[in-house]
Amino acid sequence: MSQALGRPSLMFVDLRPISRPMVVVGDHNIADQLTRATPTFPTSPPKSSRSLARLQYMMGPTPIFSTHGLLFIERLEALSKTGDSFSLMKLTTQLTFDVIGKVTMEADLGAQHDSQGEADDLVQSFEALVDAYNGDRLNLPWRLNPGKTRRRAALSICITNMLQNIVSRKHASLHDKKGEEGKGTGSSRSVLSMALQDVETLTPRVMDETCDQLRTFLFAGHDATATLLSWALYELSRTPRALRAIRAELDTLFGGDASPTVIARADGSLATDALHRRCHQRNAAFTPPGGTARAIPPGSGLTVRMPDGHQQCLDGLLVYNCQSLIHTDPNTFGPSAGDFAPERWLSADTSGSIPAGAWRAFERGPRNCIGQELANMEARVVMALTARRFDFCKVGLGAVVRDEDGRPRLDAAQQGRYQVGEEIYMVRQITSKPADGMMITVGLAK
Ligand code: HEM
């Protein structure tokens, strides 16, 4: 739509009577105006969904990634021996679920032990809940979908009960410790411990709010990171120059030793900007797993300054900062805006000329993504653990085209990426996910 209209900075979409009229933002300067703090909106204009109080938590270098990352590697190694195709999304989702379980609640959820039936009930219920949304592309009103609606409600209650148990146990243990030692959370820095540290009495309201926060963290904290990892590994598999570059970068960081234990021990030293920009480029630029919408309250008189200088009033509208438009804007990224070119973030010539506001993978302003450091660190560790050790090969959708000798064909028009048969695309499964779950095979790197 945007292209057909000549890529306007703002595109009005009249969604009445289904929803309030919406404006789609394709310009990063306007997106910045809509996410920053102002005297009227000290935490930026309100989000269209219910608001979430910010829980502050500290993320330092942590062995969490290495423990769970090593298990992820073991699973890939086992699959490399069988040569069977598998859903990479399933594996990355289970990995990121384990990580977020530990970070939010210090719980070992065992999501990666799913095949042995050892996954926690919470993981199984969450998976079932996500499944209950799969294939539901029309977003039908509940009356037209009563069976699914009932199932979702039942699973949601079941998850709430489990979370309430976890919260009660944690509160009791913190309280006991406090009595014994006279100090709050001790060494614990999980989201849950920090949320409960000053809570003397677990009232129904505190319980509800805490469970709500946990649910948000558990979902937001595993979903997008799993999608990012799947896309990043796939894109590297079809872009040989990027794979060579990332392997060379890892060689420089770690020397010749590609063993997972050496890399896992180095969690904290993986702070190279280049590596994480590479990880994000494809995912966030072209196929963002989610987006953000703000609801401008009627009567607030909020206006934004357009590129030609005039003020546009957005009073009463939903505004949607459209990452896939902003991240592929030729005015910012030049004629190669639509290409997968992670090196644009490395090159001294170009990276300095990309304005900070044009990079919005986690959005910006006071209500931006609270988990971005965690996601970045997790992506860096997983990339470091896998990129030199494995070769991935997509099957089905998005598989590379091979010549008579079985060699992948390079596509000159696509900046040296491999040609693919049918491009893989995203479908809505609560957030956007690769259509086929990213079916892939893996082998040890040659
Ligand atoms: C690649 C991974 C991730 C991406 C691309 C991503 C992206 C986003 C985006 C675009 C938003 C909306 C921000 C806004 O409306 O301004 C958001 C919000 C949020 N994200 Fe993430 N996120 C990721 C990982 C995580 C992780 C690991 C966590 C948890 C630890 C997390 C927790 C949240 C929460 C709680 C919010 C709501 C913040 C609020 O409303 O104040 N996200 N994320």
pLDDT, averaged per 10 consecutive residues of the chain (446 residues), comes to: 94 90 95 93 76 40 71 95 97 95 91 80 90 69 78 94 95 77 61 89 94 92 92 93 89 78 59 50 51 87 95 95 91 85 69 82 90 87 91 97 93 83 88 92 94
Residue 326 is predicted with a pLDDT of 93
Q: Helix, strand or coil for residue 442?
A: strand
**Ligand 1 atom closest to 294 (CA):** 15
* Distance from Cα 258 to the centre of ligand 1, integer Å: 31
Establish whether residue 224 lines the binding site of ligand 1, counting it when its CB lies within 6 angstroms of any ligand atom: yes
Place of tokens 């008189």: 301
Establish whether residue 47 lines the binding site of ligand 1, counting it when its CB lies within 6 angstroms of any ligand atom: yes
Residue 257 is predicted with a pLDDT of 72
Residue 52 is predicted with a pLDDT of 38
Establish whether residue 367 lines the binding site of ligand 1, counting it when its CB lies within 6 angstroms of any ligand atom: yes
* Distance from Cα 157 to the centre of ligand 1, integer Å: 24
User: What spatial distance separates the first Cα and last Cα of the chain, rounded to whole Å?
Assistant: 44
CATH 1.10.630.10 is right for the domain spanning 36-288+361-444 = yes
Mutate to test the pocket of ligand 1, among 57, 362, 432 (most ligand atoms within 8 A of CB): 362
- Pick the residue whose CA is nearest to atom 43 on ligand 1: 369
Residue 17 is predicted with a pLDDT of 87
Residue 339 is predicted with a pLDDT of 81
* Distance from Cα 371 to the centre of ligand 1, integer Å: 6
Task: Return the closest-CA partner of residue 31 out of 10, 50, 7.
Answer: 10
Residue 290 is predicted with a pLDDT of 56
- Pick the residue whose CA is nearest to atom 9 on ligand 1: 362
Establish whether residue 363 lines the binding site of ligand 1, counting it when its CB lies within 6 angstroms of any ligand atom: yes
**Ligand 1 atom closest to 51 (CA):** 40
Residue 85 is predicted with a pLDDT of 98
- Pick the residue whose CA is nearest to atom 2 on ligand 1: 225
Residue 282 is predicted with a pLDDT of 46
Establish whether residue 241 lines the binding site of ligand 1, counting it when its CB lies within 6 angstroms of any ligand atom: no
DSSP 369-428: -TTHHHHHHHHHHHHHHHTTTEEEEE-STTPBPB-TTSPBPEEGGGTTEEPBSS---EEE
Place of tokens 């060579």: 244
Establish whether residue 228 lines the binding site of ligand 1, counting it when its CB lies within 6 angstroms of any ligand atom: yes
Establish whether residue 52 lines the binding site of ligand 1, counting it when its CB lies within 6 angstroms of any ligand atom: yes
Task: Return the closest-CA partner of residue 11 out of 426, 325, 334.
Answer: 325
* Distance from Cα 369 to the centre of ligand 1, integer Å: 3
> For the chain, what are the domain ranges?
36-288+361-444
**Ligand 1 atom closest to 49 (CA):** 40
Task: Return the closest-CA partner of residue 222 out of 101, 323, 337, 121.
Answer: 101
Residue 51 is predicted with a pLDDT of 37
* Distance from Cα 144 to the centre of ligand 1, integer Å: 31
Task: Return the closest-CA partner of residue 324 out of 290, 294, 350.
Answer: 290
Residue 148 is predicted with a pLDDT of 83
Establish whether residue 216 lines the binding site of ligand 1, counting it when its CB lies within 6 angstroms of any ligand atom: yes
Task: Return the closest-CA partner of residue 62 out of 379, 374, 382.
Answer: 374
Residue 61 is predicted with a pLDDT of 41
